[in-house]
């Protein structure tokens, strides 16, 4: 993928991927899943040096990374105006002069992610763009509110116009190895989402072991998750390469057995363009090119966009600009 062909790469194919319907809980499969932590960590350490893309190829990969970002604002002081600015950035994530120099057009991010109260504002600001609004739900970030309220929260967000719902699982169910309860919870969340796609946030930094991460990933997919996501971004440990490798291989195993593709979203702690390149290369190596589309891969990040824009300006001009020259997401 080079900048010479970036005009076509910004017009992504409208692939209609069959949703993962889920399946009956297969406890024998879940319990057979293991994770060799030392081997996983060794493999993860090699990832940054395995692929090196430069010049126009790097620019094209960074453009693709832009298209896979869920621009996010999840702060207690969020305002309607902040959300509208975020939506404007989602519609035009790359400064016009840089985009023109690179020969790209119609570039936009993967989605906007907000709290429930800001859904209608975001939907209105994104009207006509085709950019989906994602809402965090189910007592985000801890997921400890009463179950009926978590279900009601999903239903209200869907009614307000959210096309994607980011739910948080009950971590205690994973830590207790209660896979049936986790499956039932996730199944109920999926049903409440209706036509809205559901991303299952595992909060991997709180699951204790990579084996727990692998098993929780598999159970959520069996229950019908459209995406599995690393973190809320509020934990002390968020997306890491070892965790990503485990989750991606669970996705691969699930696809090989069922034929259904499930998406992946690393979230939290990814703020540099060079890190985005590593994650894209990991997806390509482990899952193939189909998973490099925003319907199957997202970054849960906002500050990442700023650094990508700076790197692309450097590609065009040969000089790095100050961060204030780029509108903050």
Tell me, letter by letter, the H, E, C secondary structure of 243-261. Answer: HHHHHHHHHHHHHHHHCCC
pLDDT at position 4 is 44
pLDDT at position 12 is 56
What's the mean pLDDT in 68-79?
Answer: 95
CA 299 to chain centre: 4
Phi then psi for residue 144, to 5 deg, are -110, 10
Active-site entry in 265, 275, 295, 307: 265
Under the banding of pLDDT at 50, 70 and 90, the label for residue 2 is very low
Lowest mean pLDDT among 60-69, 212-221, 260-269, 313-322: 313-322
Active-site entry in 166, 226, 295, 307: 166
Average pLDDT, the chain: 92
CA distance 56 to 2: 5
pLDDT tens column, 10-45: 555 556 789 999 999 999 999 999 999 999 999 999
pLDDT at position 48 is 85
pLDDT at position 15 is 61
> Can you give the pTM of this predicted structure?
0.93
pLDDT at position 52 is 74
Lowest mean pLDDT among 35-39, 179-183, 255-259, 322-326: 322-326
Domain membership flag for residue 236:
yes
Structure tokens at 168: 């948080």
Domain membership flag for residue 38:
yes
Residue 5 has pLDDT above 90, yes or no: no
Residue 9 has pLDDT above 90, yes or no: no
pLDDT at position 326 is 64
Task: Let me know if 272 is a catalytic residue.
Answer: no
CB 128 within 8 A of CB 141: no
Tokens 């979203």 correspond to what residue?
Answer: 265
Residue 269 has pLDDT above 90, yes or no: no
pLDDT at position 319 is 79
Domain membership flag for residue 87:
yes
Under the banding of pLDDT at 50, 70 and 90, the label for residue 162 is very high
Task: For residue 319, give the DSSP letter.
Answer: S
Domain membership flag for residue 162:
yes
pLDDT at position 127 is 97
Lowest mean pLDDT among 42-46, 150-154, 257-261, 317-321: 317-321
Cβ atoms < 10 Å from Cβ of 8: 11
CA distance 286 to 284: 6
Task: Let me know if 265 is a catalytic residue.
Answer: yes
Domain membership flag for residue 293:
yes
Q: Which residues contact 216 (CB under 8 A, 6 or more apart)?
A: 169, 174, 182, 202, 207
Where residue 292 sits, what CATH number does that domain have? 3.20.20.70
Report how many domains make up the chain: 1
Residue 94 has pLDDT above 70, yes or no: yes
What's the mean pLDDT in 286-293?
Answer: 96
Bridge-based pairing of strands 164-168 and 69-72 is unpaired
Whether cis (ω within 30° of 0) applies to the bond prior to 125 is no
- Segments forming the whole domain that contains residue 265: 3-11+25-325
The CB-based long-range contact list for 8-11 (8 Å cut-off, 24+ gap) reads: 9/60, 9/63, 9/64, 9/104, 10/63, 10/67, 10/104, 10/105, 10/106, 10/107, 11/106
Domain membership flag for residue 281:
yes
Domain membership flag for residue 185:
yes
Cα–Cα nearest to 223, from 176, 178, 188 = 188
Domain membership flag for residue 17:
no
Task: Let me know if 229 is a catalytic residue.
Answer: yes
pLDDT at position 10 is 55
Give SS3 for 180: helix
Structure tokens at 22: 């889920």
pLDDT at position 301 is 83
Residue 133 has pLDDT above 50, yes or no: yes
Under the banding of pLDDT at 50, 70 and 90, the label for residue 248 is very high
Lowest mean pLDDT among 59-68, 75-84, 320-329: 320-329
Active-site entry in 229, 275, 295, 307: 229
Q: Which residues contact 256 (CB under 8 A, 6 or more apart)?
A: none
């Amino acid at each position: 993928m080079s900048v010479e062909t970036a005009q076509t790469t910004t017009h992504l194919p409208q692939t209609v991927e069959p949703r993962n319907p889920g399946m009956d809980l297969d406890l024998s499969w879940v319990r057979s899943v293991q994770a060799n932590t030392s081997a996983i960590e060794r493999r993860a350490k090699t990832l940054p040096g395995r692929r090196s893309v430069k010049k126009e190829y790097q620019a094209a990969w960074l453009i693709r990374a832009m298209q896979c970002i869920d621009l996010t604002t999840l702060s207690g002081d969020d305002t309607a105006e902040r959300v509208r600015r975020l939506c404007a950035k989602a519609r035009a994530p790359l400064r016009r002069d840089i985009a023109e120099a690179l020969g790209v057009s119609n570039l936009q991010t993967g989605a906007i992610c907000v709290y429930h109260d800001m859904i209608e504002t975001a939907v209105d600001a994104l009207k006509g763009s085709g950019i989906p609004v994602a809402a965090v739900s189910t007592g985000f970030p801890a997921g400890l509110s009463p179950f009926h309220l978590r279900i009601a929260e999903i239903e209200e967000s869907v009614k307000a116009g959210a096309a994607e719902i980011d739910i948080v699982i009950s971590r205690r169910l994973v830590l207790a190895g209660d896979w049936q309860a986790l499956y039932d919870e996730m199944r109920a969340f999926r049903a409440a989402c209706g036509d809205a796609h559901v991303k299952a946030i595992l909060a991997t930094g709180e699951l204790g072991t990579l084996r727990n991460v692998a098993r929780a990933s598999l159970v959520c997919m069996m229950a019908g998750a459209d995406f599995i996501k690393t973190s809320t971004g509020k934990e002390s440990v968020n997306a890491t390469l070892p965790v990503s490798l485990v989750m991606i291989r669970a996705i691969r195993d699930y696809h090989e057995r069922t034929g259904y593709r499930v998406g992946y979203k690393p979230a939290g702690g990814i703020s540099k363009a060079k890190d985005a390149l590593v994650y894209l290369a990991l997806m390509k190596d482990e899952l193939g090119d189909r998973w490099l589309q925003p319907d199957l891969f997202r970054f849960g990040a906002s500050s990442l966009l700023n650094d990508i824009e700076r790197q692309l300006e450097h590609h065009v001009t040969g000089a790095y600009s100050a961060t204030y020259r780029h509108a903050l997401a």
